[in-house]
Structure 1
Amino acid sequence: MLLPGWMSTKMSFMPIWYDPLGLALGVALDQVFADPRSAAHPVALFGRAAAGLERSLYADSRARGVVHVAVCVGSATALGVLAQRVPGRAARTAVTAVATWAVLGGTTLAREGAYMADALERGDLERARARLPHLCGRDPAGLEAPELARATVESLAENTSDAVVAPLFWGAVAGVPGLLAYRVINTLDAMIGHRSPRYERFGWAAARLDDVANYLPARVTGLLTVLTGPNPGRALAMLSRDGHRHPSPNAGRCEAAFAGALGVTLGGTNVYGGRTEHRPTMGDGPRPAVKDIRRAARLTRAVSLAAAGAAVLTAWALRSRTRSS
């Protein structure tokens, strides 16, 4: 059917949100270049901007926190919309690839796990304790090898969702705006979403929005762990039995599936900046040992690869459906 000229012109400028090739190239870039720790990295630049805005807006108030989150996430989403409107299919694919690389952290996550494994295998507890903050906010002071191993395995499980599955999920269904918005949401949660006297109210919106953004990706992570892990039956059983026991509505799905796949028990007492949390256990096996860290890192890589394939196929299917409608 022929369209009026004005309508045809308008449609030609509509952004193509679904870019499977761009996602695939972004995953490849992450494999090659990982996540450079640089002050010029886009996430680092955003962190400084968000901190500056916080200094201007901060008050012990949920309303102020909502404004802070709205400005940060809204700005990132608008930037993504503008970026994806660049003319030319090749340019849009390049933008998607760079954005995907910028928000992914799967290769760096697996390398951090390998670093912790190497330090603990050598018996270098001080090096392992100094490195743990790269993975989680747990207080490493005084932790011995078994607790450092547990912290590492739990962090690998949770961050497989946060650093890989979730950004790929949102990139597949919402393109560059989804990629950037998710990374901003997750970064804000890490910055101000934790419970403390300063952020109990101001960080409430960041924490709740992160819960919403990760709800589906965390469950996808659990299912991908079942499908790619060394013991699918046990992983599915622990995911079903224990996934809801974690205080987070999302992290438990990832940790329970990892616990079942690896045949270990996760959970227990954690200390965060002087605050102690007692978390329910997940899994039926022994506590993680140092040898389990490399197994967890391999599982992270397997889940990441499966997530990349699923994201590319999803974006391709959505793109095909959009073009045919």
Structure 2
Amino acid sequence: MAPTAHAPAATVGTLAGAITPTVGALAGAAAPAAVRTLTHATTSTAQALASLIRAAAPAPAPSGPRTPTPAARSLARAAEVALTAAATWSVIGGTSLCREALTIQDALAAGELDAARRRLPHLCGRDPQALDGQQIARAVVESVAENTSDAVVGALLWGALGGVPGLVGFRAVNTLDAMVGHRSPRYRRFGWASARLDDVAGWPGARLTAALAVLAGPDPRGALRAWRADGAAHPSPNAGPVEASFAGALGVRLGGTLAYGGRVEHRPVLNAAGRPVETGDIARAARLSRRVAVLALATAVAARPVLRGAGPTARRRLAAAVLLGAAGAARTGLRRGARSAGEGPAVRPRAAGSARVRPLAAGEDRP
């Protein structure tokens, strides 16, 4: 409890009560009259001093909440901005994503296929030794597309919805899926739960990424057409729309035959009318990723004040809409996973833009 203005008076009274027995003990029984006289004088003096302090002290302040001063509000706002900036810098992985992609492109352009194979695990979990130059380029473009959603747009969207907890929480879910979201005896249950949670958390960001790729890409009609035609064919409910939209925007063909852990898988082709991916398409995909990131940042910055000022009813409706769509994505992922389990283990590539992907062990697979 905070001290009041009457605390000095109470302190003096307590001090007087403590002095009285002390003086008596020091004087002893030899001079009882002197002790009584000294005790009476001390007590009278303390009481008089306490009365003077009570009369001079101001009235106690009310016990209600204090109104922060303008300086305190400014300091709190500055601290909030600094914390948000630090969290955003640590969570967003767009810069490292494009840097890794362009490093692989430089290696391919120089004819250094072995160097490109060594760098590929920084982006995805495919078996690089089974890929030629064109297949490596296609893998990089697909990884840039998917991680634009995972490492940039999804994080910004959840940051706009939930602030710093939304940023950090989304990144934790995405990283957990990248580390243990594998269908294997070791991660059978924990990995399954991580993968499904990532499906739910990544659903709104994937749709926003696909929409922004339509707006920012060199071929908006092609991006929209590929998204609508092929987005649902991908085993991942979130990677499909993003990769299809990027494929249509860039005019290339993605999907098809993949190699994971020494095993070959045949996936649906995205934007079948496009041409095969070339080495130079990696830089085009990186430029598109940057444009999408800028649009996503502008969207998040514009939406954050609106979401913070929205009433409880509007926020509940928005949360219900997001959860409803995410639940549908998770159910779709479960259904596709069941079909894949019957046809053979399906691979769900997962790469975090700012973190390396753990290589798959023998017999492991990403759900």
Contact kept, 8 Å, 2:182 with 2:188, in 1: the verdict is yes
Distance 1:98 1:163 in 2: 16
Matches within 5 A, 1:61-72: none
- Matched with 2:295 is 306
Distance 1:306 1:201 in 2: 37
Q: Secondary structure at the match of 1:243?
A: helix
Structure 2: segments with no counterpart, 5+ residues: 1-61, 69-74, 315-367
- Matched with 1:164 is 152
Which of the numbers 244, 255, 263 marks the counterpart of 1:256?
Answer: 244
Identity within the alignment, %: 58
- Matched with 1:290 is 279
- Matched with 1:194 is 182
Question: RCO greater where, 1 or 2, for CA within 8 Å and sep 6 or more?
Answer: 1
Provide the aligned C-alpha RMSD in A. 2.1
Cα 1:152–1:5 shift into 2, 3 Å: farther
Q: State yes or no: 1:148 paired with 2:136.
A: yes
Q: State yes or no: 1:114 paired with 2:91.
A: no
Which moved further from structure 2: 182-191 or 107-116?
A: 107-116
Distance 2:220 2:230 in 1: 15
Distance 2:157 2:141 in 1: 23
Deviations 1:56-88 (A, max 9, x none): xxxxxxxxxxxxxxxxxxxxxxxxxxxxxxx71
- Matched with 1:48 is none
Distance 2:240 2:188 in 1: 22
Deviations 1:220-247 (A, max 9, x none): 0000000000000110000111110100
Matches within 5 A, 1:1-325: 88-283=76-271, 284-321=273-310
Give the CA deviation at 1:108: 0.9
Whose radius of gyration is greater, 1 or 2? 2
In structure 2, give the amino acid aligned to 1:233.
Answer: R
Distance 1:90 1:122 in 2: 48
Question: Normalization by structure 2: what TM-score?
Answer: 0.64
Contact kept, 8 Å, 2:150 with 2:174, in 1: the verdict is yes
Give the CA deviation at 1:142: 3.1
Distance 2:286 2:191 in 1: 31
Contact kept, 8 Å, 2:141 with 2:282, in 1: the verdict is yes
The number of residue pairs the alignment matches comes to 245
Distance 1:194 1:141 in 2: 21
Question: Normalization by structure 1: what TM-score?
Answer: 0.72
Give the CA deviation at 1:320: 4.1
Structure 1: segments with no counterpart, 5+ residues: 13-86
Give the CA deviation at 1:217: 0.5
Contact kept, 8 Å, 2:130 with 2:259, in 1: the verdict is no
Give the CA deviation at 1:189: 0.2
Give the CA deviation at 1:200: 2.5
Distance 1:275 1:214 in 2: 27
Give the CA deviation at 1:113: 1.4
Contact kept, 8 Å, 2:137 with 2:282, in 1: the verdict is yes
Deviations 1:71-108 (A, max 9, x none): xxxxxxxxxxxxxxxx7111111111101111100011
In structure 1, give the amino acid aligned to 2:200.
Answer: V
Give the CA deviation at 1:278: 1.9
Give the CA deviation at 1:195: 2.0
Distance 1:174 1:316 in 2: 12
Contact kept, 8 Å, 2:145 with 2:243, in 1: the verdict is yes
Distance 2:153 2:63 in 1: 41
